[in-house]
Amino acid sequence: MTIQPYSTALVTGASSGIGAATVRRLRELGLEVHAVARDKERLTKLAEETGCIVQAASVADLDAMGAIFKNHEIDILINNAGQSRTGNITNTTEEDIDGLVDINLRAVLQLTRLALPGMIARDRGHIVNITSIAGHYAFAGGNTVYHATKAGVHSLSQQLRCDLFGKNIRVTEVSPARVQTEVFGRLIGDMEEAQRRFFDEYDSLLPEDLANSIAFAISAPQRMNVSFMEVLPTMQVVGGLNFAKKTAKS
């Protein structure tokens, strides 16, 4: 059984974490799912498990992405692919800035641009943007460029609803806090250390929690648009206020 009126979905960043969990969940719902990521080996294993369609390419490869939308009717676009870095704007590099903007923001804009003509012509569609609490809150230790790109996708999600006013195309932003994925291990270059530092003593979200959140949004009646979901671990809060003490010189 499919989720009326949808029958197909495209999930980016599908080889692991939230993306892979979302592929599994959407396949359970009966959707044809195109799984996009660079790691063909992982995608092939996921396809063997779920029956998803492998699209091994970077989201930054516009020729490859354009071919998908040219050859397939995609009802649901899940913009999940993303990258992060350590440090902040005071010690980042030109390459770090370009890499984060290319994957976290530019690719989301380009895929949305590619997806919308078909959705508009068919008068059905759903775009789901996975952002982060980093797009809404400032906190010490966060990567400045990452925060900025996620804030950009938040703004895009809001503006899209204005652009699509009067059409049967829904836009959902899902903004999670800490999720137990490989991203932390990649950041510090040590998966075991990341597990110890970030997860062993914390009850974090699991990728399946976000996949279920996405499933809820796309399964909602067509009259209902779940526009924004902020998903936090029960034991995690956001925000905070710091005040630096005067220095001797001041």
105, 121, 181, 194 from 152: Cα distances, Å: 7, 27, 23, 28
* Matching residue, tokens 């992060």: 84
pLDDT at 239: 74
The answer to whether residue 202 sits within a structural domain is yes
The answer to whether residue 244 sits within a structural domain is no
Average pLDDT, whole number, for the chain?
A: 93
The answer to whether residue 123 sits within a structural domain is yes
**Residues with catalytic roles:** 146
User: Is 25's pLDDT higher than 90?
Assistant: yes
The answer to whether residue 112 sits within a structural domain is yes
Domain total for the chain? 1
The answer to whether residue 235 sits within a structural domain is no
The answer to whether residue 234 sits within a structural domain is no
User: Is 70's pLDDT higher than 90?
Assistant: yes
User: Is 61's pLDDT higher than 60?
Assistant: yes
pLDDT at 1: 43
pLDDT at 30: 96
The answer to whether residue 236 sits within a structural domain is no
User: Is 3's pLDDT higher than 80?
Assistant: no
Domain of residue 76, CATH code: 3.40.50.720
Band of residue 84 on the pLDDT scale cut at 50, 70, 90: confident
Residues 58-72, mean pLDDT to the nearest whole number? 98
User: Is 2's pLDDT higher than 60?
Assistant: no
Q: What is the pTM of this model?
A: 0.93
Band of residue 165 on the pLDDT scale cut at 50, 70, 90: very high
Residues 206-230, mean pLDDT to the nearest whole number? 97
Greatest alpha-carbon pair distance for the chain in Å reads 70
Residue 63: give the domain boundaries: 8-226
User: Is 10's pLDDT higher than 90?
Assistant: yes
The answer to whether residue 241 sits within a structural domain is no
Band of residue 188 on the pLDDT scale cut at 50, 70, 90: low
- Give the residue, 79 or 188, on which the prediction is more confident: 79
Residues 98-154 pLDDT 10s: 999 999 999 999 999 999 999 999 999 999 999 999 999 998 888 999 999 999 999
pLDDT at 241: 74
User: Is 248's pLDDT higher than 70?
Assistant: no
